[in-house]
Amino acid sequence: MTTLGEISPDELVTNREVFAKYFSTLFNRLTTDAADIQKLRADWQFDKVATAAKVIEDGGRSVIVPYRKAKQWIKRLQRLGTYDLPILRRLQRYTVNLRPNDFGKAKELGLVQPLLEGKPDGPWVLVDGCYNDDLGVVITERPLEDFLV
């Protein structure tokens, strides 16, 4: 199997194996070295992991949104000054993906910052007030109440 277009619509809906086979084929064609990627992960070099393991072009950059319990976990990691893997895993549910140009713009405007100061290769955090439940990440048009003192 090379493309999903070769599969009939009925089979896409009824055959549970179609996507498993598709992704297995896709991952077998990748030219990444799993051992190297795992070493990069162990060394907390997330930017390099993202580049080495990229499957979808222009996939974007994960950013943690300081929302609900994520605020507490972010503060804890910043207080510790190091990454705590179990908390980083919990924070996955509070992450959003920004396209590279959106991440660059947010970075330029100071709306994202490294989780830990001086560690730009690690996780990044969206500045509080830049996420809207209805709109998602708001990069260029922040709500007026963010600017009221």
Structural domains counted in the chain:
1
Q: Is the pLDDT of residue 50 over 60?
A: yes
Is 31 inside a domain boundary?
no
Which domain, by its residues, includes 110?
60-147
**76: Cα within 13 Å, side-chain hemisphere:** 13
Q: Which two tokens stand for residue 76?
A: 């804890």
Q: What is the mean pLDDT of residues 25-47?
A: 70
pLDDT at 65: 94
In a domain, 122, yes or no: yes
Q: 112 near 80, Cβ under 8 Å?
A: no
Task: Inform me whether the pLDDT recorded for 146 exceeds 80.
Answer: no
The secondary structure element, H or E, covering residue 71 is: helix 69-80
Residue 88 forms part of a structural domain: yes
pLDDT of 67 reads 87
Domain presence at residue 82: yes
- pTM greater than the 0.75 cutoff: no
Question: Is 6 a domain residue?
Answer: no
Inside any domain, residue 77: yes
Residue 2: is its pLDDT beyond 60? no
Amino acid 27: pLDDT: 64
Instruction: Indicate whether 37 belongs to any domain.
Output: no
* Residue 31: other Cβ atoms inside 10 A: 5
Does some domain include residue 64?
yes
Stretch 73-83: mean pLDDT: 89
Q: What are phi and psi of 96, to 5 degrees?
A: -130, 155
Categorize the per-residue pLDDT at 63 as very low, low, confident or very high, splitting at 50, 70 and 90: very high
